[in-house]
Amino acid sequence: MISYKPLQHTLIEKGVKKMELVKMVGMSNSTLNKLNKNQYVALEVIERICLALDCPIEAVARIEKDPDESGH
């Protein structure tokens, strides 16, 4: 599953508030809600976040194993 926990840390590190990010990137509040809920968002949005924050994709998202999966 996708996790946007790195984004939370990056925002804190760079002193950027979530609503500032929404304006910087030009994304909707519903996309912000998806990020907060670790739901899929378009790769284009991830790219715009990386460019706006001048950071690598690893500072925005990471893949985590779903604890509900049996390891297949």
Which tens digits make up the pLDDT trace of 25-61? 999 999 999 999 999 999 999 999 999 999 999 999 9
> What percentage of the chain has pLDDT greater than the value 70?
94
Give me the long-range contacts of 6-14 (CB less than 8 A, separation at least 24).
Answer: 6/58, 6/59, 6/60, 6/61, 6/62, 7/35, 7/49, 7/59, 7/60, 7/61, 9/59, 10/53, 10/55, 10/59, 10/60, 11/53, 14/53, 14/55
Which pTM value belongs to this model?
A: 0.88
**What integer pLDDT is reported at residue 14 of this predicted model?**
97
